[in-house]
Amino acid sequence: MKNKNIIVIGGNSGIGKALVENLQNAGANVFSFSRSAEGDQKIDVTSEDDFSGKFPDQIDGLVYCPGTINLKPFHRFSLTDFQNDLEVNFLGAVKVLQAAMKGLKKSESASVVLFSTVAVQVGLGFHASIASAKGAIEGLTRSLAAEWAPNKIRVNAIAPSLTETPLASQLLGTEEKKAASDKRHPLGRYGQPEDIASAAMYLLGSDSAWMTGQILHVDGGMSSVK
């Protein structure tokens, strides 16, 4: 990772923040952007802004972390709910990747990491909107992996289960909720940001140089173990 130019979208909290710290410790040149940042580090993925001027000329890695957790019965979702989840989780990634494409092509071995969710692999009630948006991410991951392979740009995604981040605070807000979530996972605990950040580090690095178009399930066994 030393001296590699790595962009992290959503690097101010949760998984993104943990990843930024890992990358900095590994000697990478980290370009962290988020909606809550100030100045040149501020990026709102729901805007119509052109982000390309904020990015370095050469991009060796890009991680798109923004997401939503909008859970409720299907009949209570409005079309606006679906559109909002799609805007943040999927269309925002599309905008960023289009802005970064030129820089990614200048790298000899670029890696893109996107985020899905265990709810795409496993049918979970009340997840219709987020599972749909993240399902689009999985399709994008495989399609871009094929399209960008001739440019030596790898594209993979991580599909976590529930992870303790500010976004998930309502789902893990009490000790009772934490205990219930622990029991739902075969390994007996919900995720921590470091669990997912470590997987992202692997996908960004040379140890995964022969991987592209893959969905890495980092979910405490929830997607495959009963």
Give the class (CATH, top level) of 5-218: alpha beta
Mean pLDDT of the chain: 96
- Tell me phi and psi for residue 154, to 5 degrees: -90, 145
Domain boundaries of the chain, sorted by first residue: 5-218
- Check: CB of residue 159 under 8 Å from CB of residue 215: yes
Q: Which pLDDT tens digit goes with each residue over 22-51?
A: 999 999 999 999 998 888 899 999 998 888
Beta bridge partners of residue 64, listed in sequence order:
9
Task: Tell me which residue of 163, 172, 218, 185 sits closest to 18, measured CA to CA.
Answer: 163
Q: Which pLDDT tens digit goes with each residue over 104-157?
A: 999 999 999 999 999 999 999 999 999 999 999 999 999 999 999 999 999 999
Residue 15: CB partners within 8 Å, gap ≥ 6?
65, 115, 160, 163, 165, 193, 196, 197, 200
Q: Which pLDDT tens digit goes with each residue over 52-61?
A: 899 999 999 9
Sign of CA dihedral 73, 74, 78, 83: positive
C-alpha 197/C-alpha 13 separation (Å) is: 12
Residue 51 in tokens: 């982000």
Position 169 pLDDT exceeds 90: no
Q: For 70-87, what is the mean pLDDT?
A: 97
